[in-house]
């Protein structure tokens, strides 16, 4: 299997607005009854930012951090966005209005479609590169990394993978299944890139391999651990710790996608 070179990372979760906060020991807050600084969404154009929800802003923050660390030109980069549910709160509000025969807001509908956030971030950056959105529930992280492989092979230029899901709306799922909001991004380059390498990834692959011991998952709250995209946070946490070995991309909730984290140098 070909390797991917990680050249930048970014993250946002409640109480952890950036990678520096994570490295300083912050591990997030539950969204239940606690206030925390909202994501900035500074990577989104000002007019669009006023309409963007917290989830879109969080994805934009994580995307921007990874791009900045990797010294990637966001007007040219390829980007793969992954989310199980997208702007689910807006979608549920629209469905409620439809059920009640209330008039629907075209603007709210435009921001509720699954690719809306990818479009807003791409348009705001003036990006002319390839951009796509993927949804595969708990297999989304594995699917986005698989897509990144294809993009790197086809185009040869770096690609930014950004995955996240917003907090479960009240009453949407049973509390034992509810999760908190999370956004994580990694910038990837093909072997031979001149960019400084944080780590190398081998995979994604289904099931365990003989590539090394299983790397511990990131220490987060139970609610955060149920976010369908937490596997990408586990990858970033392993990279920031300098760990090597196999990382589960679904914490046992999907088909079993994994990735092997290797050191920065062969």
Give the DSSP letter string of the chain. Answer: --EEEEEEEEEEBTTB-SHHHHHTT-----SSS---PPP--TTS-HHHHHH--HHHHHHHHHHHHHHHHHT--TTT-EEEEE-SSSSHHHHHHHHHHHHTTPPPPHHHHHHHSTTHHHHHHHHHHT--S-EEEE--GGGHHHHHHHHHHHHHHHH-S-EEEEEEEPPPPTTTS-GGG----EEEEEEEE-TT--SPPSEEEEEEEES--SS-PBPPPP---HHHHTSTTHHHHHHHHHHHHT--EEEESSTTSSS-EEEEEE-S--
Residues 6+ apart with CB under 8 A from 61: 10, 12, 17, 18, 39, 40, 41, 42, 43, 183
Q: Which superfamily is assigned to 6-197 in CATH?
A: Thiolase/Chalcone synthase (3.40.47.10)
pLDDT at 212 > cutoff 50? yes
Gap between the Cα atoms of 231 and 111, Å rounded: 26
Token code pair at residue 23? 């490295």
pLDDT at 100 > cutoff 80? no
Instruction: Answer yes or no: are the C-beta atoms of 121 and 60 closer than 8 Å.
Output: yes
Angle at 74 between CA 201 and CA 138, to 5 degrees: 45
Over its C-alpha atoms, the chain yields an Rg (Å, rounded) of 18
Higher-confidence residue: 249 or 34? Answer: 249
Residue-wise pLDDT tens digits, 224-234: 999 999 999 99
pTM metric for this prediction: 0.92
* Residue in 174, 168, 169, 176 with CA at minimum distance from that of residue 227: 168
Gap between the Cα atoms of 245 and 252, Å rounded: 17
Residue 213 sits at φ, ψ, to 5 deg, of -70, 155
Residue-wise pLDDT tens digits, 62-97: 999 999 999 999 999 999 999 998 877 676 676 766
pLDDT computed for residue 27 by the predictor: 85
Give the CB-side neighbour count of residue 254, counting CA atoms within 13 A.
Answer: 26
pLDDT computed for residue 1 by the predictor: 45
Q: Confidence class of residue 175 from pLDDT cuts 50, 70 and 90? A: confident
Give the position of tokens 């009854």: 33
Positive or negative CA dihedral for 260, 231, 108, 100?
positive
Share of the chain above pLDDT 70, in %: 89
């Amino acid at each position: 299997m070909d390797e991917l070179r990680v050249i930048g990372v970014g993250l946002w979760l409640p109480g952890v607005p950036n990678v520096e906060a994570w490295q300083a020991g912050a591990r997030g807050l539950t969204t239940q009854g606690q206030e925390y600084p909202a994501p900035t969404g500074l990577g989104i154009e000002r007019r669009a930012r006023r309409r963007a929800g917290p989830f879109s802003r969080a994805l934009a923050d994580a995307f921007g951090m990874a791009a900045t660390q990797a010294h990637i030109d966001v007007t040219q980069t390829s980007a793969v966005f992954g989310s199980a549910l997208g702007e689910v709160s807006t979608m549920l509000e629209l469905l409620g209005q439809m059920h009640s025969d209330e008039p629907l807001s075209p603007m709210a509908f435009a921001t509720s479609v699954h690719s809306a956030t990818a479009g807003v971030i791409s348009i705001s950056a003036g990006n002319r590169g390839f951009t796509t959105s993927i949804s595969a529930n708990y297999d989304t992280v594995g699917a986005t990394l698989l897509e990144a492989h294809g993009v790197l092979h086809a185009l040869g230029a770096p690609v930014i993978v950004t995955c996240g899901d917003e907090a479960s709306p009240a009453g949407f799922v049973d509390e034992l299944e509810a999760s908190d909001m999370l956004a994580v991004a990694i910038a990837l380059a093909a072997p031979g890139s001149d960019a400084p390498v944080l780590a190398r990834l081998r995979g994604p692959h289904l099931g365990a391999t003989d590539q090394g011991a299983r790397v511990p998952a990131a220490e987060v709250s139970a609610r955060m651990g149920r976010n369908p995209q937490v596997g990408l946070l586990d990858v970033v946490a392993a990279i920031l710790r300098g760990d090597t070995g196999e990382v589960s991309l679904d914490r046992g909730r999907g088909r079993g996608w994994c990735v092997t984290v290797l050191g920065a140098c062969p």
